[in-house]
């Protein structure tokens, strides 16, 4: 599992991004249907079915491990240590242009949240569209301090030996995981 440095100072959460090699060993309590929209859900316990119609899962309940799957879109972990709430967002091209991150940030105090922007297809492999950078701009515009944001600057297609990449021919995704301890 790959982890963001920025969350290392918070021992009360567990997070990680699975690779091609570690994905099958991961467990989760809740997944989302992921429809490339801007809706999100707060979850407080395990769900047998994917939460319908949402692209972000948020929780304030310890022990609930949420999963968002991506294979070129951006997974974004959000955590607000002051209130011990957080979760994961799925932002593809549509979710990014429709500003799902900005929608989710309205649930939090922007200047107190920390963000991890995960691996995604890079502009060199995606018509010059830089979805990581677009989400970074949205976060800054919402008032998240730059020092609270880490961007994991890997292109999933260029690094498809590590990550599943739709554009490299994969039809399954890798998970980003988040849990409050
Ligand atoms: Zn690339």
Query: Measured in angstroms, how far is the CA atom of residue 154 from the centroid of ligand 1?
Result: 8
Using CA atoms, how far residue 119 sits from 37, 81, 142, in Å, is 20, 23, 22
Per-residue pLDDT of the chain (181 residues; tens, 9 = 90+): 999 999 999 999 999 999 999 999 999 999 999 999 999 999 999 999 999 999 999 999 999 999 999 999 999 999 999 999 999 999 999 999 999 999 999 999 999 999 999 999 999 999 999 999 999 999 999 999 999 999 999 999 999 999 999 999 999 999 999 999 9
**Do residues 75 and 32 make contact, with C-beta atoms less than 8 angstroms apart?**
no
DSSP H helices, 18-148, are: 93-97, 100-105, 131-142
Query: Measured in angstroms, how far is the CA atom of residue 140 from the centroid of ligand 1?
Result: 24
User: 147: how many CB neighbours lie within 10 A of its CB?
Assistant: 8
Architecture of domain 5-178: 4-Layer Sandwich (3.60)
Overall pTM > 0.85: yes
Domain residue extents for the chain: 5-178
The residues whose Cβ lies within 5 A of ligand 1, an ion, are: 122, 124-125, 155, 157-158
Please give the mean pLDDT across all residues of the chain: 97
Distance CA 162, CA 181 (A): 28
Distance CA 99, CA 113 (A): 17
**Do residues 87 and 177 make contact, with C-beta atoms less than 8 angstroms apart?**
no
Over residues 83-120, the pLDDT tens digits come to: 999 999 999 999 999 999 999 999 999 999 999 999 99
**Do residues 16 and 117 make contact, with C-beta atoms less than 8 angstroms apart?**
no
């Amino acid at each position: 599992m790959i982890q963001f440095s920025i969350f290392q100072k918070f021992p009360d959460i567990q997070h990680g991004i699975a690779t091609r090699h570690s994905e099958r060993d991961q467990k989760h309590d809740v997944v989302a249907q992921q429809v490339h929209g801007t809706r999100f859900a707060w979850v407080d316990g395990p769900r047998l079915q994917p939460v319908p119609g949402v692209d972000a899962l948020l929780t304030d309940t310890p022990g609930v491990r949420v999963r968002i799957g991506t294979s070129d879109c951006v997974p974004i972990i959000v955590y607000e240590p002051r209130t011990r709430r957080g979760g994961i967002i799925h932002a593809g091209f549509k979710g990014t242009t429709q500003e799902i991150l900005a929608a989710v940030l309205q649930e939090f105090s922007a200047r107190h949240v920390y963000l991890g922007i995960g691996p995604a297809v890079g502009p060199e492999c995606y018509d010059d569209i830089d979805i990581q950078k677009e989400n970074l701009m949205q976060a800054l515009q919402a008032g998240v301090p730059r020092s609270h944001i880490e961007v994991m600057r890997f292109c999933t297609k260029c690094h498809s030996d590590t990550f599943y990449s739709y554009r490299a021919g994969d039809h399954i995704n890798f998970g980003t995981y988040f849990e409050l301890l």
